[in-house]
Amino acid sequence: MGKRLENLFEKGYEWLTYKEVDELVRKYQAAENQEEKDHLRYLLLQAFHKYFMKYVSILKGTIGTINAPDTIAFLSLFRSKSQKQSKSLYSVYRYVIRVCENLQEEEVYNQMVTIFLTLLDQFKFQPEVSFSHYITKYMRWSTKAWIMRMSSDPLTHSVHTDFLVDGQEGDKEHQSNRSEMQLKELDLELPEMNLAWVMDAGSSLFSILTKYERFLLYLSFKEGLGVRKISERLGRVKGTVNAHMRKIIIKLREHYQKGAE
């Protein structure tokens, strides 16, 4: 884990009791000026720093074991009741790592902070329910929802979890071709797509892409290569090519949306 994250806060607030955390939350909710509220928010972030780091470790695949109760509870959310026995936690673990593979640790950490602050502002004290109990439960659900959004098809918003079959990774060739199929769903008709076009798109639509991204389109559409063949041609792993294909889809989709507004 990077030193930058490990040393984000000074020592002092990371081992507060449930009651001490609740007291901080009550003060935060009652704060009348922004400066006091910001300070209390900082103290709460410091108190939960190690908790955020745990999620970073899970999502980036650096956690020592997935057998801790809270980790099991989180990973189990990705399995339906009928899948509890058939889908192993390690399959789910590989899945969440794959979804987050293109994110830096700092990006994952910042997302955990964003989720935490949203839940903090939504929290209302209830009898026998501490803030720590509340945040532990709802951080799991909110983090799962974030991961599912990231793993969804950027065109149809349908969620891809089909490779989690019977506790094993499913059809790997299907996974590799997924980005290719998404690109073909754009139904692009580009007779001018050639190497000259790769170097200079000459079009406002595809000028938003880099030369490398246009080259990927050229290989996919004009040469008819699948992700596996493209990765072999470029000397890159399939997962990297898939990620780059998804980035192209997102760029084009956002461009279409802006044009339709």
In the prediction, which pLDDT does 128 show? 84
pLDDT averaged over every residue in the chain: 76
Write out pLDDT tens, residues 240-260: 888 888 888 888 877 766 655
Contact predicate 246/232, CB 8 Å:
no
Task: Give the Cβ contact number of residue 166 at 10 Å.
Answer: 11
Structure tokens at 99: 């979804």
Structure tokens at 128: 């026998």
Mean pLDDT, residues 54-79 taken together: 89
Task: Give the Cβ contact number of residue 95 at 10 Å.
Answer: 20
Write out pLDDT tens, residues 8-60: 444 445 567 889 999 999 999 999 999 999 999 999 998 999 999 999 999 99
Closest by Cα among 58, 56, 66, 69 to 90: 66
In the prediction, which pLDDT does 8 show? 40
For residues 237 and 185, the model is more confident at: 237
Mean pLDDT, residues 144-162 taken together: 60
Q: Residues near 256 by Cβ (< 8 Å), separated by ≥ 6?
A: none
Of the chain, the percentage scoring pLDDT greater than 90 comes to 27
In the prediction, which pLDDT does 214 show? 84
pLDDT band with cut points at 50, 70 and 90 for residue 148: confident
For residues 126 and 112, the model is more confident at: 112
So where are the chain's domains? 3-150, 171-260
Helix/strand/coil (H, E, C) string of the chain?
CCHHHHCCCCCCCCCCCHHHHHHHHHHHHHCCCHHHHHHHHHHHHHHCHHHHHHHHHHHCCCCCCCCCHHHHHHHHCCCCHHHCCCCCHHHHHHHHHHHCCCCCHHHHHHHHHHHHHHHHHHCCCECCECHHHHHHHHHHHHHHHHHHHHCECCCCCCECCCCEECCEECCHHHHHHHHHHHHHCCCCCCCCCCHHHHHCCCCCCHHHCCHHHHHHHHHHHHCCCCHHHHHHHHCCCHHHHHHHHHHHHHHHHHHHHHHHC
In the prediction, which pLDDT does 58 show? 94
| pTM exceeding the 0.75 threshold for the entire prediction | no
In the prediction, which pLDDT does 217 show? 84
pLDDT tops 50 at residue 83: yes
Distance of CA 81 to the CA centre of its chain: 24
CA pair distance 245, 216, nearest whole angstrom: 8
Write out pLDDT tens, residues 164-197: 433 333 333 344 444 545 555 555 555 467 778 7
Structure tokens at 230: 């493209």
For residues 261 and 255, the model is more confident at: 255
Closest by Cα among 3, 163, 148, 170 to 77: 148
pLDDT tops 80 at residue 3: no
Contact predicate 205/236, CB 8 Å:
no
In the prediction, which pLDDT does 85 show? 54
For residues 157 and 224, the model is more confident at: 224
Contact predicate 226/201, CB 8 Å:
no
Q: Does domain 171-260 have CATH number 1.10.10?
A: yes
Mean pLDDT, residues 222-228 taken together: 79
